[in-house]
Amino acid sequence: MDQDITAILFDIRLDDTGQFDMEFDRADFITAGRLGDLMTTFLSSEQARLGDHIRLRLINPTPDRIFEIRIDGLTGFCVAYDGMPLPELVSLGNLKLAPAQRIDIIADVTGDVILRETVPSGGEELGGIMLNGQRQIRSAPIAPLPANLVPAPGEITQTADFFMQGGAGDGAHGGFGGWAFNDVSGLPNKPLISARRDEAVQVRMVNDTAFPHGIHLHGHHFWETDQNGARTHLRDTTLVAPGETMTIVCVLDNPGAWMLHCHMLSHQADGMATWMQVS
């Protein structure tokens, strides 16, 4: 590997004077969240040679924005989601990252590496790694990374559902905030699941709202599942589209009280949070 480069995606809201806008309004909480008007990328390196073999680590730490990224100037594959190696390589295309999600890429540099946001402008440049020289091109086949040590789920011992409610245009719910899980805004008194260590549990997340939500579990990774119930990717944050249902399977092997919440932080602050207890 010639370089290991981190790319931190970010957006910033500015006021009329070009300073950070510190004001919030109600729409920030009950719609898509507090979105900035200036998007950018902070890169740990901004130069590479033509032919370099690099690992590019994309991170979305923004409060609310979902990025949809296209990367020019690279030929390679996605090799990990949320820090978990993929068992099979995934082709580069448009990459969607909800707040808290990460994607690792291993690729060869074939030109200036330009990161572009494809929505809504269709190609707004966020930043880039510019060519500076050329190396002797060597064939560097890309293979899946070694798997992390994660306990495989056995028999599912508990299941739970939670319904995402609220937001602009949605009907009333039983919580006090703009958003709720299962008619509760904020952390409920009782956990969604109370489990013994190493229990395998299943949670069905139903998005009954008009907005997408990036649901994040602290302390664990979980398997997303497809429509047939087969386990697909290991993640700690899953993006659930409006009207969509996502079922996850998790081995709760880390004792403690762990928050499960929307990582659009404006949504979390206004009600979208619950928790699991592992003893």
Does 140 reside within a domain?
no
Residues 111 and 163 occupy one common structural domain: no
Compute the average pLDDT of residues 132-137: 88
| Per-residue confidence band for 199, with pLDDT thresholds at 50, 70 and 90 | very high
Q: Which residue has the tokens 């050329």?
A: 134
Residues 127 and 236 occupy one common structural domain: no
DSSP letter string, 194-254: EE-TTEEEEEEEEE-SSS-EEEEETT--EEEE-TTS-EEEEESEEEE-TT-EEEEEEEE-S
pTM: 0.95
Query: Which CATH number do you get for residue 79?
Result: 2.60.40.420
DSSP type of residue 14: B
Compute the average pLDDT of residues 172-189: 95
Compute the average pLDDT of residues 177-204: 97
Compute the average pLDDT of residues 244-266: 98
Judge whether 88 and 144 are in contact, CB under 8 Å.
yes
> CB under 8 Å to 141, separation ≥6 — which residues?
none
How far, rounded to the nearest angstrom, does the alpha carbon of residue 182 sit from its chain's CA centroid?
Answer: 23
Compute the average pLDDT of residues 211-222: 98
What per-residue confidence (pLDDT) applies to 158? 97
Sheet bearing 199-207, strands edge to edge: 179-181, 156-166, 199-207, 245-252, 222-225, 231-235
Does 45 reside within a domain?
yes
Task: Name the domain count of the chain.
Answer: 2
Range of the domain at 40: 3-134
Does 153 reside within a domain?
no
Q: Which long-range contacts (CB under 8 A, 24 or more apart) does 120-123 make?
A: 123/70
